Each structure stands twice: as C-alpha cells, then as structure tokens.
Amino acid sequence: VPQLPSDDGTELQFCTICPFSRSCLAEGVDKQDLRELQVLVDHVGPLPAGSLIFEQGAPFDAIAAVRSGTVKTARLDREGREHVLGFHLPGEVIGLSGIADERYPCNAVAIDSVQLCRFSFPKLSVLARRLPGLQKRLFRLLSSDIGSATLLSGEYTADERLAAFLVLLSRRLASRGSPENQLSLAMPRTDIANYLGLAPETISRVLRRFQDERMVRVYRRRLELTNPRRLETIGAAILRA
C-alpha cells in the first residue's frame, strides 16, 4: 500500500536517514545513479500499529528500511509460541534474513505507526553490481546483523539484560536525534520479556527495583534514565562484549 509522504522522498531529495542513500551519496554517486536507486524504492505507509509488514514463510522479494515508528520481528514455532527476535528503529533495515531461503523466516509487525522504504531485492542486487558502494553497504548491513543476538546468548541475569536493553535502546534512539535518557517504549512488557528471554513479571520487578534505586523513573511505557551510568555498569558484561 504505497502512499507518498509529503515531507520526503521527493525526486533527488532522498530520505536523509536511509542507509542506502547515505552510502551512495558518500561515494559520490552521480545523479543518474541516485535516480536509479530511487526508482526501485517504494515509500510505504504510514501503517497503523498491528500491520503485518511481511509474514513468516512468505516468498522473499524485498528488504525495507524503517523510516519512522518501530517494527517488531518475531517467529512462531510449531506450537504457536512467539519468539521476539528484535525491535527495529528508524534507519534500521529489516528482511535481510529472508535472503538465504528466499522466504521470510519471521513476521515483521508495526507496533506503532510505521513508515518504510521498500527495496526490491533482485533489483537492488543488479544495481549493486554497478555500484561498489552499494554492494559494500549491503555486505556490511548483512554482516552487522550476524552478531546482534548478544543480549540473549551467554548466561546473563535479568538485571544485566534489562539494563543493557535500556542503554542500547537509549543509544539507538539518541543517534537518531531523540532526547537522550528519555524514551517511550512502543512495545508492551510481554514483548520485551519475550525478547530478553524473561517473564513479564520479572521485567516489572526489575524495573521496580531500578526505580527504587533511582536509576530510572517509570510511568507505563514512558521511561527516564536518571542514572544511565549505573545502568551501563550493571549491563557492562553485555555492553562491552
């Protein structure tokens, strides 16, 4: 359901947060190349919360960059249980794990209002042969997704996991210009718990304790990190891995 937003994507004025445009512009791609890249982009959205962006098992044909909002990726096992794989913020790319089998291995769902830039992967591949910078960018995007399951692996305590989760989320949001230490979660506790391999009740309890110890202030899904340093210390084992 493509729907062009008014404030971006016009002609040669490409999304400023788009990982691909950044890569190409940095390499001095000429206007013709940029136009080609732009042609194979669909600007999608805004999609309301709950929208299915791509579905587990569906044929893979495109990747997408999040432009605004938050996307959750999750897979369902045969027993119907959900396993949350990650949350994806503006500037981050989803769908790369579908390349291998030419099927998406997971669902991608908008958890608030989401805008995307959708790239046909076959077209992107062809273009990447002519644009070394684009090829390199694709390789790097893929590579950086490999080691990103750090919060889950290893034997970490609930405190470590949640502290690291909050710090990393804060950093990711801050690098996009959001006010640091001031985050509003788009996802419910159950999703965070699932992602971190914990029970929702544990999230509540740890958050409570963090608040009692003046490290965060919590009101529903709005959080303020009042002592990010201590959170970093607690999550150090994960953060400094």
Partner DNA sequence: CGAACACTTGACAGCCCTCAACGTGAGTGG
Partner DNA sequence: CCACTCACGTTGAGGGCTGTCAAGTGTTCG
Q: Which residues bind DNA (CB under 7 A)?
A: 155, 157-159, 188-190, 197-205, 207-208, 218, 220-221
Closest CB to DNA among 131 and 203? 203
- Min dist. Cβ of residue 209 to DNA (A): 9
Task: Please give the C-alpha separations between residue 69 and each of 46, 101, 114, 180, 212, in angstroms, as whole numbers.
Answer: 9, 28, 4, 17, 30
Could you list the residues that contact a copy of itself (CB under 8 A)? 75, 77-79, 81, 83, 85, 96-101, 105-106, 125, 128-130, 132, 135-136, 138-147, 149, 152-155, 197-198, 236-237, 240-241
Contacted by 200, from DNA, a copy of itself, none: CB < 5 to 8 Å by type: DNA
Q: 3-state SS string over 196-218?
A: HCCCHHHHHHHHHHHHHCCCEEE
Concatenated DSSP letters for 139-189?
HHHHHHHHT--TTTSS---HHHHHHHHHHHHHHHHHTTTPPTTEEE--S-H
Q: Which is nearer to DNA, 132 or 188 (CB)?
A: 188
With CB under 5 to 8 Å by kind, the binding choice for 178 among DNA, a copy of itself, none is none
